Amino acid sequence: MSAARTLTRPGAIATSLIMIPLACVIGLPFYYVVVNTFKTQAETTMAPLALPTTLNLDNYLTVFSEIPVAQSFVNTVYVTAAAILLMLLIGSMAAFSVIMRASRLVTVLLVIAFLVPGQVTLIPLYRMLSQAQLVDTLEGLVILYSGGSVFCYFLIVGYMRTLPGEVIEAARIDGAGPWQIYWRIALPLIRPILITVGVFQTMWVWNDFLTPVVFISSTEKQTLVLQTYKAVGEFTTDWPMFLTLSVVVLIPMVVFFIFMQRYIVRGLVAGSVKG
């Protein structure tokens, strides 16, 4: 049966007729957020779902002038990039070592680490970081997020098991040392899983709220999510302003989604198969 005929069967048309409107309902909150960024307070109250009458960019101008969005954006990029690099490095190094030496104990310990909920270690970690003067610093956040290397380890080690050992053997015969093998051979070989895990962990770090809200108190060190949370207090009466801020904060994630969705889904599935 041809694709065109499959799509125009009564059943398929009925499915389209149900699923597309339903998807619109699911997506409605996003529509609501976006249209109201172009409206004044009065317009939003009068007709929350109507299209804006004019392309009014005042809200955007006010948000950018009143809220240090650029600063928080830079903070978030810094923390995310540093944390992801660190956890991929730590995770892949550990995976490399375990694969080469086939040690069991490490895996057992890391399973325990993986199962302990973050809430349990939160208070001791807060105390530990405050003694090290790292509370309310971006570096403190990076250190906390490096705990994500445990998750990276499991995905990377699973992937490494599927690689052929001959390449490594050949490199060894050619006189390559462990560091060279790791850097020149293992890392390029595991690139696909590094991307998958990296994308997945980026979503976690970028979107995380719990860690910044507990560990960050200064305005100039806020991440985007924390800043939005704090700004709600200021904007309680000015809805369009808050919604505009939300859109500004959501844009990077939407762009990320559009370009990375294949990897996001791949990470979702890989993360689940690991089990």
Q: Does 40 bind other proteins (CB under 8 A)?
A: no
Give the C-alpha distances (Å, rounded to integers) separating 79 from 14, 75, 166, 180, 257: 47, 6, 38, 29, 19
Query: 239-274 and 224-235 helices cross at what angle (nearest 10)?
Result: 150
Residues 2-21 that bind other proteins (CB under 8 A): 3, 6-7, 11-13, 15-16, 19-20
Checking phi first, is residue 133 left (phi over 0); if not, alpha (psi -120 to 50) or beta? left
Write out 179-198 in H/E/C secondary structure.
HHHHHHHHHHHCHHHHHHHH
Q: Does 184 bind other proteins (CB under 8 A)?
A: no
Contact 118, 210 (CB under 8 A): yes
Residue 99, Cβ neighbours under 10 Å: how many? 18
Q: Does 60 bind other proteins (CB under 8 A)?
A: no
C-beta of 26 vs 70, nearer to other proteins:
26
Residue 80 Cβ, how far from other proteins at the closest point, in Å?
Answer: 12
Among 10, 54, 108, 179, binds other proteins (CB under 8 A): 179
Residues 95-124 that bind other proteins (CB under 8 A): 96-102, 106, 109-110, 112-113, 115-124
* Size of site (CB under 8 A) for other proteins: 112
Q: Does 33 bind other proteins (CB under 8 A)?
A: yes
Question: What H or E segment, with its residue span, contains residue 177?
Answer: none
The 69-98 site mask, x for binding other proteins (CB under 8 A), equals --------------------xxx-xx-xxx
C-beta of 117 vs 188, nearer to other proteins:
117
Residues 125-144 that bind other proteins (CB under 8 A): 125-128, 143-144
Distance CA 178, CA 188 (A): 15
Structure token pair of residue 261: 């969705």
Q: Does 259 bind other proteins (CB under 8 A)?
A: no
Query: 138-145 and 118-131 helices cross at what angle (nearest 10)?
Result: 140
Stretch that binds other proteins, among 56-64, 65-73, 77-85, 264-272 (CB under 8 A): 264-272
Stretch that binds other proteins, among 51-59, 63-71, 77-85, 265-273 (CB under 8 A): 265-273
Closest to 185 in 3D by CA, of 169, 162, 161: 169
Distance CA 197, CA 266 (A): 9
The 214-233 site mask, x for binding other proteins (CB under 8 A), equals x----------x--xx--x-
Residue 273 Cβ, how far from other proteins at the closest point, in Å?
Answer: 5
